[in-house]
Structure 1
Amino acid sequence: MKDVYITRISKFLPNDPIDNDQMEERLGFIDGKVSKGRRIVLRNNQIKTRYYAIDNDGNITHNNAQLTKEAIELLCDESFTAENIELLSCGTGSPDQILPSHAAMVHGFLKNGNVEINSPSGACCSGMSALKFGYLAIKSGQNTNAVCTGSERASSWMKSDVFKNEIEHLKKLEETPILAFNKDFLRWMLSDGAGAFLLEDQPNGNLPLKIEWMDAYSYAYEIEACMYAGGDKLENGELKPWSEYPSEEWAQKSLFAIKQDVKLLSENILTKAVETLVKVFEKHDDIKPEDITYYLPHISSYYFKDDLYEAMKNSGVEIPWENWFINLSKVGNVGAGSIYIVLEELVNTGKLKKGDKILLSVPESSRFSYSVALLTVC
């Protein structure tokens, strides 16, 4: 088996950062009214700025595949060009269309010759799944390099016009035309952007990061869906997909908006995260929590940070505060791209030194999946 190294990292964040006072104007007011939930959600998540692929006039500037293509091109130079890529593995929770796949669309924009492509589906963990595919391909000797990405273009799913028909339908029914909180919640949580890693079977570059292992766990067998799009949740907890609704109800129910069962999220996201970390440290008993130099948890909100730390401490997997590295407040929650973007920032701090251990931890609330990876600075 080959060793696998992350040798280059890049990110692409579209346009200028958007602060909290600008975001509703950029996404649009629903029924011309200010959201009642916005300030509550923002106060809890403590995100200060985020990025949207939308310009000042409300025009879309990039789709998801274009964001990803931009991040990949930032990996390249004269010594490694896009034509040198052997495998392209692209994860996202917000593809531009159902078919073709996200990676196929990215490849179409790159125009870099014949390569193998892979498009893991899902939400936040799809970026880690993309990374694991590239990692295993190189480790097994199938490829000598791979470009892996995580990206989101969630803003187009959160614009006010997505909900226009639903609000008009509620008015006809003489119901109060207020957007349900499970839909409004994520409008103030998500951000656009893309990150990319170059993986190679040799420790090239300055301070390459060796991928020691990657593990993933799903709890979908015991918990119902929590974050979803392209369907609606029934009273029994099951999801009814868009394809089983009459087409006129797709807009009336905002079926393609991203929705979050906030109660289910708060009940499970931390307990399962810590349960996963306990499993990881039991499996890899040659590494202890105190050996981790930098802990990079992908958290959707600073609301969870203190409770996560306490739960880790109570379960014997405490990693000291000073070893945590998070950039949520500056870039927002970029879903599948977040772990790429935060690692890029850590690398560019110049603080890393040989032998440092970096633990990547990514939860996915769609139906509670978790992915963890250990890196060593070489």
Structure 2
Amino acid sequence: MDRSVYITSTGAFLPGKPVPNEEMEQYIGEINDRRSRLGRFVLRQNGIKTRHYALTQDGVHLHSSADMAARAIRDALSRSEIAAERLSFLAAATTQGDLLVPGFASAVHGELGLRPMEIASFQSVCASSMMAFKSVYLQLKAGEHDCGVACAAEFSSRFFRPGFYAGREQEGEDSSALMETEFLRWTLSDGAGAWLLETRPNEGRRSLRVEWIDLCSYADRFDPCMYAGTSRNRAGERKPWSHYDSPALAAQQGAVVLKQDFDLLYRMFPVWAKHYLELVDRRRLRPGAIDHFLAHYSSHSLRGEMVKLLAKTGAMVPEARWFTNLYSQGNTGAASILLMLHQLIEERDLQPGQQVLGFIPESGRCVIAFMLLTVV
């Protein structure tokens, strides 16, 4: 029996108040003038105006990633037509969890305090939320469950405090090497989102039917591009943090700092574009018929690159139909697409029959994900 699956409720949690650009260093900390100047350059590139942090100006943690995810799930449940006790499957995603062991879903389940249930943990970068989403979708589609939730949370700011960069300046890093860390430091922020999925639509309000989810890794062609937990020697060889004699030595060698390789990033764009064109043919997708295009991108400048590339393909979704929360909420990594759909539902009067296309390119080691939803 073919079972349709619907997103019947969404939830969000954004910690603290919106933090404007001029107050950022009061939260993530000031390292030196050189990094501050690079930070101001990054802000001009990414176009972000405000973001949220789950810590105070003194560096005190107000939440954990699991706590934020649980709050987003409770928000989704509070907006739903079902009792929390009906939830029987939980898939949780994040880039970096609160603990090394056990899995993130266990932590989220523990924070929720709901009855025993099946869980699944997904750890990647921005596309990990889509991995969790597809897991719930397939569980419901197969008849294993009737109700499940996909959630994602990020607490990036805790990794951007000055202590994580101690001693790095003495190594004489050039501006390009510094930009590998400063771009993310001034772009990523904190938050959590959740989607509740059921095998029946809502009775009293709109739902979103899941038409398909498409996800593909191209890690066979690329080295890590956005990464933490490894460093490279002068020969370009990578050494995982766990191969050092101690965690302290790994940190001293820069193996725990989050980095972005820009040369590699730009080499991924044509691969993503080719996959999109293949998807258009394979799924018989009509870009001009898409009513809302949720495009995840980390920087306004990268949006420009995406627009130019998609325009050349002849399969461009009209830019007037693009929707993003980047400029007001920053790049919340795996939680971004979940928060984006939540905001779209809150702000737009979605009509039955409208289609929502989600696009999530992950630079971690080149992953790309798409989803198509129909308003019912």
Q: When the two structures are superposed, what TM-score results if normalisation uses the length of structure 1?
A: 0.93
| Residue equivalent to 2:244 | 245
Compute the displacement of 1:33 (Å): 6.6
- Give how far 1:217 is off: 1.3
* Residue of structure 2 aligned with 1:288, choices 279, 286, 289: 286
CA distance in 2, matches of 1:353, 1:165: 55
What amino acid is aligned across from residue 215 of structure 1 in structure 2?
D
Corresponding residue of 1:100: 102
CA RMSD of aligned residues (A): 1.9
The answer as to whether partners of 2:188 and 2:333 remain within 8 angstroms in 1 is yes
8 A contact 1:225–1:239 mirrored in 2: no
Residues 361-372 of structure 1 mapped to structure 2, 5 A cutoff = 361-372=359-370
The answer to whether structure 1 residue 119 and structure 2 residue 117 are counterparts is no
Matched residue SS, 1:25 = helix
CA distance in 2, matches of 1:292, 1:235: 48
Segment of structure 1 superposing worse, 211-220 or 233-242: 233-242
2:256 is matched with: 256
What is the aligned partner in structure 2 of residue 143 from structure 1?
145
1:348 paired to 2:346? yes
What residue in structure 2 maps to residue 274 of structure 1? Answer: 273
CA contact under 8 A between 1:191 and 1:333: conserved in structure 2? Answer: yes
Q: Give the Cα–Cα distance (whole angstroms) in 2 for the partners of residues 283 and 236 of structure 1.
A: 42
Q: Which residue of 2 aligns with 1:83?
A: 85
Aligned position for 1:129? 131
Structure 1 residue 262 displacement after superposition: 1.7
Counterpart CA distance in 1 for 2:58 and 2:181 is 24
Q: 1:236 to 1:316 in 2, by over 3 A?
A: farther
Could you report, residue by residue, the CA deviation over 1:233-291 in whole angstroms, capped at 9, with x for unpaired residues?
355655321111221422212322211112221332x2222122112111101x31111
Distance across 1 between alignment mates of 2:290 and 2:281: 15
Per-residue CA deviations over 1:45-73 (Å, capped at 9, x if unaligned) read: 00000111012332110111011011011
Matches within 5 A, 1:188-227: 188-204=186-202, 205-227=204-226
Mapped partners of 1:166, 1:305: distance in 2: 31
User: Are 2:28 and 2:57, in contact at CA under 8 Å, matched by a contact in 1?
Assistant: no
Structure 2: gaps of 5 or more residues: none
* Structure 2 partner of 1:4: 5
Aligned to 1:99, the other structure's residue is in SS state: coil
Structure 2 residue matching 1:249: 3-state secondary structure = helix
**Using the alignment, how far apart are the partners of 1:236 and 1:129 within structure 2?**
34
Deviating more after overlay: 344-353 vs 208-217: 344-353
Distance of 1:236 and 1:137 partners within structure 2:
45
Residue 330 (1) aligns with residue 328 (2): yes
Provide the identity percentage: 36
CA contact under 8 A between 2:294 and 2:357: conserved in structure 1? yes
Separation in structure 2 between the aligned mates of residue 233 and residue 320 of structure 1, nearest angstrom: 42
> Given the two structures, how large is their TM-score scaled by the length of structure 2?
0.94
Whether the 8 Å contact between 2:47 and 2:300 is mirrored in structure 1 is yes
> Deviation of residue 312 (structure 1)?
1.0
Q: Secondary structure at the match of 1:196?
A: strand
**Do structure 1's residue 152 and structure 2's residue 151 form an aligned pair?**
no
- Equivalent position of 1:71 in the other structure: 72
Q: Contact conserved, 2:96 with 2:123, CA < 8 A, in 1?
A: no
Quote the residue 1:230 is aligned against. 229
Between the aligned partners of 1:30 and 1:58, the Cα distance in structure 2 is 14
SS in 2 for 1:96: coil
Q: Secondary structure at the match of 1:119?
A: strand
For the residues of structure 2 that align with 1:123 and 1:96, how far apart are their CA atoms?
15
Q: Which residue of 1 aligns with 2:314?
A: 316
Give the partner amino acid of 1:369: V
In 2, distance between residues paired with 1:140 and 1:346? 29
The Cα of 1:358 is off from its aligned counterpart by 0.4
Shift of 1:223: 1.4
**Mapped contact 2:359–2:371 kept (Cα < 8 A):** yes
Per the TM alignment, residue 230 of structure 1 is displaced from its structure 2 partner at its CA by 1.0
Aligned amino acid, residue 142 of structure 2: S
Gaps of at least 5 residues in structure 1 are none
Q: Which residue of 1 aligns with 2:112?
A: 110
C-alpha displacement of 1:166: 3.7
Q: Which residue identity lines up with residue 114 of structure 1 in the other structure?
A: P
Q: 1:237 to 1:117 in 2, by over 3 A?
A: farther
Q: Secondary structure at the match of 1:330?
A: helix
SS of 1:342 mapped into structure 2: helix
Does the residue aligned with 2:214 lie in a helix, a strand or coil? strand
Corresponding residue for residue 185 of structure 2? 187
Q: 1:294, 1:325 within 8 Å by CA — same for their partners in 2? A: yes
Q: How many residues are matched?
A: 371
Q: What amino acid maps onto 1:276 in structure 2?
A: H
CA distance in 1, matches of 2:245, 2:277: 45
Q: Separation in 2 of the partners of 1:311 and 1:31?
A: 37
CA distance in 1, matches of 2:374, 2:185: 36
Paired with 1:176 and 1:228, the residues of 2 have a C-alpha distance of 18
Report the alpha carbon displacement of residue 200 of structure 1 after superposing the two structures with TM. 0.1
